[in-house]
Structure 1
Amino acid sequence: MNERLPVISLFSGAGGLDLAVEACGRTDDAAGILRVAVATDYEPQALRTLAMNFPETPTLCKDIRQTSADELLDLAGLSAGEPTLVIGGPPCTPFSKSGFWLEEKRGSLDPNASLLDEYVRVVRDTRPEAFILENVQGLTYSTHRAQFTRLLQQLEDLGYNPRAKVLLAAEYGVPQLRRRVFVVGRRDGKAFHFPPITHSGVSERDRKIDATKLPFVTAHDAIGDLLPGTPESREVVDGEYGELASEVPPGQNYLWHTDRYGGRDVFKWRSRYWTFLLRLDPDRPASTLQAQPGPWVGPFHWENVVSASGEKRARRLRVPELLRLMTFPDDFKLDGNRTDIQRQLGNAVPVQLGKVVVEALMEQLGHLDRSRRSHHQQLELGA
């Protein structure tokens, strides 16, 4: 294989899409076909995480609004038209459901929404062969229709014929019911075709199972072998609702403690967010891992632990478990404390989901042959 094809990574964060790019086409006996030629983010911590895992990749810690395309191209050693891909997910805070309680979020008035325009600008000025943009599903909601429509129109005006679709991570082998919107476009104007679904199971919206697909990867499939594991600081769910959390069965949440279920009659029906006191169901994929959960926001592990006072308590997921549920490598390193790590991973793209999209694009561009896929991947795609 000749020199790997160059990629410009924007809003890189913890590097979920960067890992997907580097893994594209990698097999047991061959390296991947892509390399991240430059990665950028405005958070120093994100760049420290990237440096620990991508030591050969040039990085730039700078606000994208003050970053020219020429600066990115120079760091990557490229000229306009030479990047194979531009990838990235502009910060999703303006479009996340968790921000809807803020009026400026509901009305799409958050100034960070303009970062979508910055992404378009970099695509315009670097002229990659293709691009991949990802974001939270909330970007597609009616409250953000103006921003989303403008994004697609701007990319259309550049000739990239953008295609957008909300993907459920569990339907592509990720042990998590996380939905992300992907927008993909090609410089030659040909339409991108999203990869076929490979897995099926019960989700929060679908009770039908397609027997022709592989079953969802469950939480137990992903992290069961990590038990009993090594306890982490502040993992015990204690305090005001600690005892109630420990009594919630696997797969249930605070609704267990309403007058309609078998727990204590403490809460009113549907008076809290779904994730309040939520416990993992080992036989299903995890719910979405949140970047900044409150003290009572799950998913918590399905098994209890014994607290310092000798009482049974629920526990928070540990870092190795978070990595597995996000399909990051076990040896991936993250800078910062436990809260920092949760935020970085909660904002990231599951690596397996990104990889499926990247490989589909590389195949359609003619850069990747299915023979470069692993045997397991070929089975998943019915090759």
Structure 2
Amino acid sequence: MSEQLPVVSLFSGAGGLDLAVERADAEPLSTADLGGGLLRVSVATDYNEPALQTLKANFRDTKTLTGDIRVVPTEEILAKAGLRAKEPVLVVGGPPCTPFSKSGFWLEQKRESRDPNASLLDEYVRVVRETQPEAFILENVQGLTYKTHKAQFERLLKGLGALGYNPQWKVLLAADYGVPQLRRRVFVVGRRDGQRFEFPEPTHSGWSEHSRTVDATKIPHVTAAQAFEGLPILSRASNDEIVDGNYGELAAEIPPGQNYLWHTERYGGRNHFEWRSRYWTFLLRLDPNRPSTTLQAQPGPWVGPFHWENVRTTSGQERARRLRVNEMLRLMSFPDDFKIAGTRADVQRQLGNAVPLELGKAVVRALMTQLGYLDREPASRSVAFA
């Protein structure tokens, strides 16, 4: 254990980045490979108790610290981990993304980038400044890079740059790294020695909402159907999985890969909705032959993606169904035995806010290779969800 390199995790949530850290040297897309233990998360912090319960259940050797980072001194974080400044090899974390998410744009203060939680970016810079790790990895939603949040993003980069870390940033598509999900996240990475970090090249390719260009030299995107292979087939859905109520019948009639637009005058369903009158995720069904769209952290009752197969209620009616926990784990490329604490809403929130494992691994692995701790990246790229 003493030979493992220590890592400080901030805003840890369900532990997506933490899992990526501890499995950075494992084979890609092999949930059975735990890696050789190059890195260890020494301390993980969060203010959300269900998230910390999840961390405790999955990272037994990691110390946890509950509290608002704005009032938790860096000295306390280091002391909890048994570390001093300059001893952590990495500081990793994703400050809560609500201020920068498109889903928050209905609030005026978020549209105008006045959300007080945006200051959490400054707290991340503070911890990096006071812990002086060899490198850091910060991740967030793509919205952080939008013009609306230009001042906050530039302040973040300037603050990290002033520490000598030469921060580099890039928006990465999870599906391009083997995750069966079209999820975009921005990563900011910097090294204490000031050397420029080079982001990992995609290993997979396929079309998305932004591009129809496919690189035939890369592995095709992992589809939702591939991700769900081997999962148990249940004969009956639980009540909280059934999409019922006002739009239950309409949702059941929508084909795989379609959304509420199916029920407009331009498509083959009922002419029930106005064209482009709702969010894209409204009544959205998964396409089994493509990666999933982004899993939502706090979806409303009619927000997908829902499974492409219907289920029957006790009265015999066909209804769409919500994704099960084991399916969401697969779409996040998490191991099947990953334990998540709390209610279904807690599970959805934790996974919806998490970093997909394989995406995080790709970034951590590239960084550790460039720092000289790994000789090369693992060669195997076979899909192995198990």
Q: Which residue of 2 aligns with 1:212?
A: 217
Alignment partner for residue 48 of structure 1, among 45, 53, 57?
53
Q: Give CA deviations for 1:302-329 in whole Å, capped at 9, x if unaligned.
A: 0000012211100000000000001111
Q: What is aligned with 2:143? A: 138
Question: 2:345 maps to what in 1?
Answer: 339
Alpha-carbon distance between aligned partners in 1 of 2:329 and 2:256, rounded to the nearest angstrom: 21
- Cα shift readout 1:64-112 (whole Å, capped 9, x = no counterpart): 0111111111111111011000000000000000000100000111100
CA contact (8 A) 1:170 1:285 kept: yes
> Partners of 2:301 and 2:200 in 1: how far apart?
37
Counterpart CA distance in 2 for 1:295 and 1:29 is 36
User: 2:371 is aligned with what amino acid?
Assistant: L
Tell me the C-alpha RMSD between the 2 structures.
1.5
d(CA) in 1 for partners of 2:275, 2:230: 35
Distance 2:276 2:60 in 1: 47
Q: 2:107 aligns with which of 78, 102, 106?
A: 102
Shift of residue 229 of structure 1?
3.3
* Unmatched tracts of structure 2, length 5 or more: 28-32
What residue identity is the alignment partner of 2:247?
Answer: Y
TM-score (structure 1 length as normaliser): 0.96
Contact 2:23–2:34 under 8 Å retained in 1? no
Q: What per-residue deviation string (whole Å, max 9, x for no partner) do you get for residues 122-152 of structure 1?
A: 0000000000000000000000000000000
Conservation of the 8 A alpha-carbon contact between 1:327 and 1:352? yes
**Count of residue pairs brought into register by the alignment:** 377
State the match for 1:23 in structure 2. 23
* Residues 24, 35 of structure 2: 8 Å contact kept: no
Say whether residues 1:239 and 2:245 are aligned partners. yes
Distance 1:4 1:269 in 2: 55
- Report the more deviating stretch, 93-102 or 197-206: 197-206
Name the structure, 1 or 2, with higher relative contact order (CA <8 Å, separation 6+): 2
The CA distance in 2 between the partners of 1:266 and 1:59, in whole Å, is 50
Specify the code of the residue in structure 1 equivalent to 2:108.
Answer: E
% identical aligned pairs: 70
| Correspondence for 1:369 | 375
Moved more, 207-216 or 231-240: 231-240
Aligned mate of 1:89, from 75, 87, 94? 94
| Distance in structure 1 (CA, Å) of the matches to 2:98 and 2:145 | 14
Structure 2 distance, partners of 1:30, 1:141, is 36
Aligned AA (1:52): A
- Deviation readout 1:183-224 (Å, 9 max, x if unpaired): 000000000000001111111111121101100000001014
Secondary structure of the corresponding residue to residue 249 of structure 2: helix
Q: 1:191 to 1:54 in 2, by over 3 A?
A: same
Gaps of 5+ in 1: none
Match of 1:151 among 152, 156, 174: 156
Q: Secondary structure at 2:293's aligned position in 1?
A: coil
SS for the counterpart of 2:188 is strand
Q: Which residue pairs with 1:351 in the alignment?
A: 357
Who is 2:230 aligned against? 225
1:26 CA displacement: 3.2
Counterpart of 1:166 in structure 2 is 171
In 2, distance between residues paired with 1:29 and 1:312?
41
2:99 counterpart of 1:125: no
- Aligned-residue offset at 1:225: 2.9
Shift of 1:52: 0.6
Give the alignment's TM-score, normalised by structure 2. 0.95
Which residue of structure 2 lines up, in the alignment, with residue 4 of structure 1? 4
Distance 1:320 1:193 in 2: 34
The answer to whether the Cα contact below 8 Å between 2:133 and 2:192 also exists between their aligned partners in 1 is yes
The amino acid that maps onto 1:152 is: L
2:356 aligned with 1:321, yes or no?
Answer: no
Deviating runs (4+, > 4 A) in structure 1? 27-30
1:65 aligned onto 2:70: yes
Paired position in structure 1 for 2:44: 39
> Does residue 294 of the first structure (1) align with residue 300 of the second (2)?
yes
Does structure 2 conserve the Cα–Cα contact (< 8 Å) formed by 1:232 and 1:318?
Answer: no
